[in-house]
Amino acid sequence: MQTASLSRRGFLRGGRRAVAPAVRPPWARVEAAFLVACTRCDACIEACPTGILLRADGGFPGVDFSAGECTFCGECVARCEPQALVRSAEGMAPWELKAGIGQACLAESGVECRVCGENCPEGAIRFRPRLGGVALPQLDADSCTGCGACFAPCPTRAISVAASDAMNEFPTESER
């Protein structure tokens, strides 16, 4: 789903333009319901212990994984009085985000680097040895929580974190 940019800059540059919605805090309602419920009070941003929540387009909260990772502590949900963030059931996934590893990965160029796997708290990124080259990262999408811990430490920004249906994941062994 795409929405119109609500920023002043977008308006002054010619009006409405289609943009992908910002990554919302964990347990956010679907985008349309979130935009209606959120009062832009910043309570969730102030409550975030890792500092990854910020004001995005239109003043609504968004996630910036370059600042760190989400620990899924639930503080943002607890502080959200208008209930734009709702944890409806224990064990419910906080969002549909998954990590993806792109072609800019150093291992693709034959350079040994395992920083993404070392920073993944779930062990969703593993390195499989291969003959005649450095080990390549493999993402286990089922184990990935989309926390973003792998994003900031990547020296080439080869990691992306997005909705799982929009991912351009690293090629599997059979696709190489």
Q: Which H/E stretch holds residue 11?
A: helix 8-12
Q: Give pLDDT tens digits for 101-140.
A: 999 999 989 999 999 999 999 999 999 888 889 999 999 9
Domains and CATH numbers, the chain: 16-95 (3.30.70.20), 97-175 (3.30.70.20)
Q: Give pLDDT tens digits for 46-95.
A: 999 999 999 998 999 999 999 999 999 999 999 999 999 998 777 788 99
- In terms of phi and psi (left: phi > 0; alpha: psi -120 to 50; beta: otherwise), the region of 104 is alpha
Q: What is the pLDDT of residue 72?
A: 96
- Name the pairing type of β-strands 159-163 and 97-101: antiparallel
Q: What is the pLDDT of residue 22?
A: 87
How would you label 148-176 residue by residue, b for 16+ Cβ within 10 Å and e otherwise? bbbbbebeeebbbbbeeeebebbeeeeee
For residue 173, is pLDDT > 60?
Answer: no
Asked if residues 126 and 117 have their Cβ atoms less than 8 Å apart, the reply is yes
Q: What is the pLDDT of residue 171?
A: 42
